Structure 1
Amino acid sequence: MENLSSLQEKGVTFMDAHSTPLCAPSRYMLLSGNYSHRGKYANGGWGLYVGQTNLDRRQKSIPHMLKASGYKTANVKYHLGGGVPEGGTYDNEKLTCCNLDWSKPMVGGPTDLGFDESFYTIGGIQQPPYSFFRDGYLTTDISDVKYWEKGEYDTANNNGKSIINKAGEGDPDWDSTEFNMRIVQEVENFLEKHDQTSPFFIYTALGQVHIPHSPPNFYLDGTPIAGTHNNKHLDLLYEMDKVIGSLISSVESRGMMENTLVIFASDNGGLNKRYPNRLLRGAKGQIYEGGHRVPFVMRYDGVLPSGERRNNLIGLNDVFATIAEFTGSTIPDRSAQDSISFAQHAISEDNVSRRKKLGTWDIQDGIMQAESLRLGNYKYIKHHSQPKKHELFNIQDDIKEEKNLLETDPTNTSYHRLKRLMRRKLHRIGPCPRDKNASKEFKLYNGANKGKKVTCDWFRSNPEVRCKNQVAGELFCNSICGRHRHFCNL
């Protein structure tokens, strides 16, 4: 993977970066600067719904912030959910039913998320509808929509086998092998027409390495892809490296690299096949490091050093505040409440990351499977779906998470005190924090009453207004303001 290696050699690699264990909530985490349960759907927005994007109405995204600073914003791919056009209903992601008027834009898509331009699919390549959308509008002529049965299909340009894993409607020319190359071409088109004297932000989400694994026979430049490695998964990683090279070259060839920040990351760690015992525990082991520790590289020529590593803790939610610091942008009120900038840490290892703790939640089908907290070198895990409820690991000494300190040294009272401390901190930032005592005062974080000392009774007196407009209500008064109180039953 020479292009990814080159990116590392010219930038900074973060060795302790984290997403959620699932792609859609991680994308919300990145663009909103929040933990996943701050969104409307705790485990992410998927597919076409009669509703809005996963961001709550009070929350603004990175593109919202950058647009206010004069940036042109673009999105290529999406996979964050959204609503069908106004007046229609939803039925199994079909395009040709339910009073859908595709002369209208979808509701709650990238445009509503702050993107000036967008080219994307709703569900990547793994689920219908198998069509692209541009700026909220369906690009397929509705009269040409085809129903794709599950199976493999020859491609029009004989560049591999297009695969449909889940039957559904879409474009008659749908080709899963060309997905990532289409993304590259869209980024190239955006840069070609963009005024180079004005700033831009492009959020590019690739199809690798989602199933179905359908690598093309050849990349855009004629490089063979399919069959170059011993499985299709590796072929797709090879194609991903080619994509990285293409995107970097598009910026370099226009002389813009010295004023461009490049961020490369993954939206989840995937299943940890290196340590298969991790897969058999809890929610397929995804609460362990293999499920959410992700590659993360930043390159910013002339600002960041080359070929260095950083070992401090960061989360995808921290990208929001970091971009704000690098660009001099102001974080919108009531947004990015879980984001801490690591810009100075990226610039120099002498500047220690300000993040001291980070929570992770494995939420599947609306059910909390497990949750964890990193605090320094220690990681506490609370399981909700298996007999072993609590685990404590020293990540620095035990990256495989094989030695539960609560079991290997059960008489060590310091470990049990640490467990209780970390459990309290985890509850405080989680989807169902414990209420403050009725007489316990705390300060409001935002709004006209910022700095005012209140108790939970202040929210109880007017929850309809105050819970919606004050972040502290969700953090300290879950029984009144919590949006995910059903988790607390666990």
Structure 2
Amino acid sequence: MYATAMAAERPNIVYINADDLGVMDVGFNNSIYKTPNIDKLRDEGMLFTRAYAPAANCAPSRACVMSGQYGPRHGVYTVSNSDRGLARHRKLIPIENTKHLDPKVLTIAGALRQEGYKTIHLGKWHLGEDPTQQGFDINVGGSTSGGPPRGYYLPVKQGPLEVFNDQYPKKTHTADVLADQAVKFINANKNGDDPLFIHMAYYLIHTPFVPVKGMVDKYADRGKKKATYASMIEKMDESIGKLMKGLDDAGLHANTLVLFTSDNGAHSDVSPQKPHRSGKGSYFEGGIRVPVVVRWPGRVEAGSTCDAPVCGIDFFPTFLEAAASPVPTGKVLDGISLVSLLTQSGSIQARALFWHFPIYLQAYAGEADDSHDPCFRTRPGTAMRQGKWKFHEYFEDGRLELYDLDSDPSERTNVAKQFPEKTQELHRMMTAWRSDLGAPVPTKLNPKYDPDGMGGSKQKEQEEVGQVPTGHLGMKQSGRNRSVGKVASPKNE
């Protein structure tokens, strides 16, 4: 199916996925953060200036990338349950969430392994118990956990990284463990006939925010929380540098495609993504715009730029074409290959990008969430981008919002009434897309909904919320929900 004019020697593929790193958190975007190794990748490769995550928080974004499919096909819409926030604030009963990616779904790793690639996952998985059940030969540190299991430093008392407690000195940062294990995998296979697929999925910069010794002090003038955040970014960048050096030392630089990105936007209270509105968990631009850089020596022009809107669902077909591999029989892919853009050998067909979120995601940082209301970062709806237009539909009240991203990148001025024909056109496209994918839309009313019940005691909130923060992300442990008996998911997911 794909062109066979690729190099006879298939490239190694390194997919680096940061956690909760905003598009404005990298040095080459005039960031206040220093990322020399990521910046070097940008200098040696292509930057996609309008790149998007396929979802606004961790598990759904990763499920979309790994499957190559939009959320309605696999049903992973959020982390944990979908009825987040206070019951009396939810007008609709949300669609039930699928917490993990079905092991029967063919992943990028599974498809490449079928084509002879040796595959390794390192770091955060969040899509099931064990990545080796979903296409990887080796798993280093991956599990169902959304945050760093038991912390960022060895020794850890439980979790998939516990096995390394006796292999590294105490207080070794897990980012160093991941880089070292990746380099060992590279060296063990550098002389083999099989190409490599390395999925480096950092837990950084996910909460808990833990200062990195030897790095945090240089950012002291920014305040404790932002200094900690900056040190964690620097630590991840340092680890990426170690991984790149490992490729160079093994003689694999010239035949390795490296893609760097993030799973979603940043926490907007710690790292505002201006000019983009909001952050992680929101379907405004700040929640879904991410950095994407691809280095592929001999194929991608160093320092090049692409302005075409692209999305994480495009990585699966891109990696397949780079590997000169066909789409597996029966596999449905919603993305498109970006190889023609990378090699500047052609263009891609104009298209719209979609985000479907039939769920509720509760507020996290108050006013810093920069959402529509103080209760939720996300209410049920669908969003799309076509050309310069960003279009939102919200299911609770049928509200339609249209933004011109060229003149209004912060999505502040709803011009739906000024452009009724464009609004209707995009709404028809969105409705047709949902119909084609069988995307579920919540319609059942929540009997506990109280439009006037914005206040209430802390005790009442804990009884209603459906999910009170757990302790695994460094937050205080709360009790179980008294009405439904569920342990809630993390507040900051």
Q: 1:326 aligns with which of 291, 305, 322?
A: 322
Q: State the one-letter code of the partner of 1:427.
A: R
Alignment RMSD (CA, Å): 3.1
For 1:393, give the aligned amino acid: Y
Aligned pairs for 1:311-460 within 5 A: 311-348=307-344, 351-354=346-349, 356-362=351-357, 364=359, 369-384=380-395, 389-407=399-417, 409=418, 412-428=419-435, 432=439
Distance (Å, rounded) in 1 between the aligned partners of 2:275 and 2:389:
22
CA distance in 2, matches of 1:75, 1:187: 9
How many residues were matched structurally? 357
**Contact 1:67–1:73, Cα closer than 8 Å, also in 2:** yes
Query: Aligned partner of 1:423: which letter?
Result: M
Q: 1:375 to 1:112 in 2, by over 3 A?
A: same
Contact 1:216 1:225 in 2 (8 A): yes
- 1:14 alignment partner, one of 35, 48, 61: 48
Contact in 1 for aligned 2:69/2:335 (Cα 8 Å)? yes
Q: Give me the TM-score of the superposition, normalised by structure 2.
A: 0.66
Using the alignment, how far apart are the partners of 1:62 and 1:78 within structure 2?
A: 16
Question: Relative to 1, partners in 2 of residues 1:284 and 1:120: Cα closer, same or farther, differing over 3 Å?
Answer: closer
The structure 1 segments of at least 4 consecutive aligned residues displaced by more than 2 Å after TM superposition are 40-46, 52-59, 78-83, 124-134, 138-141, 195-198, 270-279, 333-337, 350-355, 361-370, 412-434
Quote how far apart the aligned CAs of 1:274 are: 4.0
Distance 2:68 2:318 in 1: 10
**Equivalence for 1:173:** none
1:33 aligned residue: 68
- Cα displacement string for residues 391-437 of structure 1 (whole angstroms, at most 9, x for unaligned residues): 01122222111221114x2xx44233334333324423555279xxx
In the TM superposition, residue 6 of structure 1 has moved relative to its aligned partner by: 0.8
State the secondary structure of the residue aligned to 1:3: helix
Q: CA deviation at 1:119?
A: 0.8
Match of 1:481 in 2: none
For residue 130 of structure 1, report the CA deviation from its aligned partner: 5.8
1:207-226, aligned counterparts within 5 Å? 207-217=203-213, 224-226=214-216
Matched, 1:131 2:152: no
CA distance in 2, matches of 1:53, 1:113: 15
Q: Percent sequence identity over matched residues?
A: 25
Q: Where does 1:91-102 land on structure 2 (aligned, <5 Å)?
A: none
Tell me the equivalent position of 1:474.
none
How far 1:342 moved relative to its partner?
A: 1.1
Matched ranges for 1:185-196 at <5 A: 185-196=180-191
Where in structure 1 are there 5+ consecutive unaligned residues? 47-51, 84-108, 145-154, 160-176, 218-223, 435-490
Describe the SS at the equivalent of 2:353: strand
1:133-180 deviations in Å (ceiling 9; x for gaps): 38xxx8499xx9xxxxxxxxxx974x5xxxxxxxxxxxxxxxxx7121
Q: Secondary structure at the match of 1:422?
A: helix
For 2:354, the aligned partner's letter is G
Q: Which consecutive unaligned segments of at least 5 residues does structure 2 have? A: 1-34, 82-97, 151-155, 362-377, 442-493
Counting only pairs closer than 5 Å after superposition, residues 220-299 of structure 1 correspond to structure 2 as 224-229=214-219, 230=222, 231-272=227-268, 273-275=272-274, 278-279=277-278, 286-299=282-295
TM-score for the superposition, normalised by structure 1: 0.66
Note closer, same or farther for the CA distance 1:264–1:355 as it changes in structure 2 (3 Å cut): farther
CA-to-partner distance for each residue in 1:50-69, whole Å, 9 max, x for gaps?
A: xx983346531111111111
2:132 matched residue in structure 1: 111
Please give the alpha-carbon distance, in whole angstroms, between the structure 2 residues aligned to 1:214 and 1:110.
26
CA distance in 2, matches of 1:37, 1:293: 20
> Do 1:131 and 1:140's aligned partners in 2 also have CA atoms closer than 8 Å?
no
The answer to whether the 8 A contact 1:25-1:45 is kept is no
Corresponding residue to 1:61 among 102, 107, 116: 107
Distance 2:164 2:249 in 1: 33
Distance 1:358 1:277 in 2: 17
Structure 2 counterpart of 1:415, which letter?
K
What SS does structure 1 have at the residue aligned with 2:191? coil
Deviation at 1:236, TM superposition (A): 0.8
Q: Following the alignment from structure 1 to structure 2, what is the Cα–Cα distance between the partners of residues 397 and 68?
A: 46
Corresponding position of 2:12: none
Deviation at 1:243, TM superposition (A): 1.4
The 3 A distance-change label for structure 1 pair 338 and 277 is: closer
Task: Return the offset for 1:82.
Answer: 2.5
Structure 1 residue 35, shift from structure 2 partner = 1.1
Task: Name the residue aligned to 1:487.
Answer: none
Q: 1 CA distance for matches of 2:348 and 2:174?
A: 37
CA distance, structure 1, for counterparts of residue 176 and residue 286 of structure 2: 28
What amino acid is aligned across from residue 429 of structure 2 in structure 1?
A: M
1:73 aligns with 2:119: yes
Cα distance, 1:415–1:124 mapped onto 2, change above 3 Å: closer
Separation (CA, whole Å) in 2 of partners of 1:201 and 1:178: 24
Q: Structure 1 residue 264: deviation in Å?
A: 0.1
1:63–1:274 Cα change, 3 Å: closer
Question: How far apart are residue 313 of structure 1 and its match?
Answer: 1.3
Go from structure 1 to structure 2 and tell me whether the alpha carbon gap of 1:227 and 1:299 turns closer, same or farther (over 3 Å shift).
Answer: same
Partner of 1:180: 175
